[in-house]
Structure 1
């Protein structure tokens, strides 16, 4: 299953290296250099490269080396489109089954985030809290499908888009985070009213805005 394949040690190390900046989008490395960067021997690296190439994260260039994906417009658009298809489908099921406790918890969490952003809370803790809440909201929606293959794919798409933001979005401002919280709140509002069509429309609007913010400087 996809979930098990993404548990590949080399894949995990590759993702961690991308996040840490040890490996940078667009760089070209040899197999030996990548072994050193990831702390892998050649045999497990080759297994990992098969997976990375399939997932569109590297390109093997004969006589040149291994090119790490650079998140161009098409890469970002495709990942957002695939992720939005999964979530909008999942939301139609989630909207029928969402509990009052989940809604109350999500609303309280977002209201606390908004208060922090409007107050004098240091930016980095506020940003970290919102990113955690954002990932939970989206993942909870998909989790209700109870399909591990879809959930693993969704997690990979989230990681791809996080990488794209690190490359293109040089700075994150309070206003951008406030916009994200507001967009989430509109989804929560619709779910509280059992307006599934409205929730799906608000989720779609959130993805459009997120795409725009990915390229914000």
Structure 2
């Protein structure tokens, strides 16, 4: 079954989460309690702390992206990502669905958007964290409880995804590399995860083979020069 995401409208970016700090609740005209105030929720952007919850993606572009996995938000989804990463599941997997202004999706070894791991699907862990730029969230099929291995990274805020997809982390290092992921559904020349690792495992970035320069077209001058020799 396809893990395609539902297209939604853009919204303004505010990193907020309901009810995490004291604030004066307001009452509506009927005296009912209002929704709790929304306050800033911290994400640790320090690349040298809590290394067991940093996912590193070494891309075929030669760049490394760092993602903070938030087990407080989605413990079972984070554990799944870490398990598959340590098994080497994501190594060689492409970004198969990349929509400009929306998101980049990966995690399917078939590259079709219909595949996943052999592990059972995960029960949804929808939470109040908003889908802002750099959010990492789990893709799923029609069922809320159908997330498995695929995830996506949001280019721009998409608040309509909130509480409908399990938000499990945030890019904390090299978001510009995410911006440069090849677009397409699927892309003609897809960006690939060469190696995924957990920072505490201390894996060095892979050494990529140099890209051979494109052959130069043969011109009349080149032919004349060859004859002269």
Higher relative contact order (CA 8 A, sep 6+): 2
**TM-score, structure 1 as length reference:** 0.31
Larger Rg: 2
Q: Which has the higher strand share?
A: 2
Q: Which has the higher helix share?
A: 1
**TM-score, structure 2 as length reference:** 0.30
